[in-house]
Amino acid sequence: MTRVSQSLSLKPKGPKAFLRRHVTKKRSLIAVILSFAFLFLCGVTGAAGHMADKMILYMHVARLYARDPDTTLAMPLKDVKKSQIANTWGAPRGEGRAHEGQDIFAPKGTPVLSATTGYLVKIGEDNLGGHVVSVIGDGGRKYYYAHLDSFAPNLEVGDYVTRKTVLGYVGTTGNADGTPPHLHFGIYTTTGAINPLPLLVDRPQEKPIALKPEPAKKKRR
């Protein structure tokens, strides 16, 4: 056995071996040319570029699944306090449906901030939610923001968001039509919806900046 593996590990010599090495070189050259052609096509068509973007997003999201989920979530509406939310988790919503989230009421047009860091996986519409945004955060949790009046400008699927990112604005789209404007905030884990309320934490009140007189400039020496 030892002798066989030894003889196998030896570098082949002679014209045949030279030919084999030459073929391998040729093959890697073809691979390089094909990669360049692919990249060139990406640049020209943009289609493959879109595919590449999707691949990158999948990779980001896969990495998020490996992390522990957030233990606290920032209030999506800056000036609303947790104590102002009436707990409606699990409340009946007709047709045997239960409320899978919390409703946070605020005037139409109030900015909706991301409660977590993560990647934007959906900006679009659905029947119940109207204009909706979905963000995947740590632990692969999906955060669902619904009934938005409109989306934040320049937002794209695949964008990385933080707790300071504006996702959209409070509205009454979807089945919230005719109700007071509110954000429906939902959390979906890999095993189903969970109540967002125990995890929500008030955002710190922004202190007004005290205007100080500018100090006199010191002369440079």
List contacts with Zn ion (CB under 5 A): 103, 184
**DSSP code string of 24-39:** HHHHHHHHHHHHHHHH
Q: Which residue is nearest to Zn ion (CB)?
A: 184
Q: Which is nearer to Zn ion, 25 or 93 (CB)?
A: 93
**Minimum distance between the CB of residue 101 and Zn ion, rounded to whole angstroms?**
5
**Minimum distance between the CB of residue 58 and Zn ion, rounded to whole angstroms?**
29
The 3-state DSSP class for residue 207 equals coil
Only one residue has tokens 């954000």, namely: 183
Q: Which is nearer to Zn ion, 119 or 169 (CB)?
A: 169
- Find the DSSP H helices in the chain: 2-9, 15-45, 47-65
Q: How distant, in Å, are the alpha carbons of 72, 110, 135 from that of 186?
A: 14, 18, 11
Rounded to whole angstroms, the Cα distance separating 187 from 94 reads: 20
Q: Which is nearer to Zn ion, 118 or 196 (CB)?
A: 196
**Minimum distance between the CB of residue 44 and Zn ion, rounded to whole angstroms?**
45
Q: Which is nearer to Zn ion, 70 or 103 (CB)?
A: 103
Contact yes or no for 186/193 (Cβ under 8 A): yes
**Minimum distance between the CB of residue 155 and Zn ion, rounded to whole angstroms?**
22
**Minimum distance between the CB of residue 184 and Zn ion, rounded to whole angstroms?**
3
Kindly state the tokens that stand for 113. Answer: 């901030």
Q: Which is nearer to Zn ion, 184 or 203 (CB)?
A: 184
